Amino acid sequence: MRVDLVIKNIGKLVTCKGLGRPKVGQEMNEVDIIEDAYIAIRDGKIIEIGIKNDYKKITNSYTKIEDAKGLLVTPGLIDSHTHLVHGGSRENEFSKKLSGVPYIEILNQGGGILSTVNSTKEASSEDLYDKAKKSLDRMLEFGVTSAEAKSGYGLELDTEIKQLNVAKKLDKDHPIDLVHTFLGAHAIPIKYKENHKEYIDIIVEQMMPKVKELGLAEFCDVFCEEGVFSIEEGEYILSKAKEMGYKLKIHADEIVSLGGAQLSAKLKCTSSDHLMAASEEGLKMMAKNNVVANILPATSFNLNKSYANARKMIDLGVALSLSSDYNPGSCPSENLQFVMQLGCLGLKMTPNEVINAVTINAAYAIDRQNEIGSIEIGKKADLVVFDAPNVEYLMYHFGVNHVDKVYKEGVLVVENKQVIYNNI
State the number of binding residues for ligand IZC (CB under 6 A). 10
Q: Which of 59, 74, 327, 341 binds ligand IZC (CB under 6 A)?
A: 327
Site string for Zn ion, 324-343 (x = CB under 5 A): -x------------------
Residue 328 CA from chain centroid, whole number = 16
Rounded CA gap, 88 and 37, in Å? 45
Closest distance between ligand IZC and the C-beta of residue 361, in Å? 21
For 200, half-sphere exposure in the C-beta direction (CA atoms, 13 angstrom radius) is 21
Binding segment (CB under 6 A) for ligand IZC, from list 10-18, 155-163, 321-329, 342-350: 321-329
In this structure, the strands spanning 177-185 and 219-222 are parallel
User: Is 402 labeled as ligand-binding?
Assistant: no
Cβ neighbours around 268 below 10 Å, total: 13
Q: Which of 80, 181, 324, 330 binds ligand IZC (CB under 6 A)?
A: 330
Instruction: Specify the DSSP element, H or E, that contains 293.
Output: strand 292-295
Binding segment (CB under 6 A) for ligand IZC, from list 23-31, 109-117, 214-222, 396-404: 109-117
Q: Which of 328, 343, 351, 410 binds ligand IZC (CB under 6 A)?
A: 328
Rounded CA gap, 166 and 128, in Å? 7
User: Is 112 labeled as ligand-binding?
Assistant: no
Q: Which residue is nearest to Zn ion (CB)?
A: 325
| Residue 81 touching ligand IZC (CB under 6 A) | no
Nearer to ligand IZC, 5 or 296 (CB): 296
Q: Per this entry, what is the length of the chain? A: 424
User: Counting beta carbons within 10 angstroms of the beta carbon of residue 32, is it exposed (0 to 12), middle (13 to 18) or buried (19 or more)?
Assistant: middle
Q: Which of 219, 223, 301, 407 binds ligand IZC (CB under 6 A)?
A: 223
Q: Which of 112, 143, 351, 373 binds ligand IZC (CB under 6 A)?
A: 112
Residue 207 CA from chain centroid, whole number = 24
Q: Which residue is nearest to ligand IZC (CB)?
A: 329
Contact indicator for 354, 320 with CB cutoff of 8 Å: no
Rounded CA gap, 352 and 394, in Å? 11
What residue ranges bind ligand IZC (CB under 6 A)?
A: 83, 112-113, 116, 223, 251, 327-330
What residue ranges bind Zn ion (CB under 5 A)?
A: 325
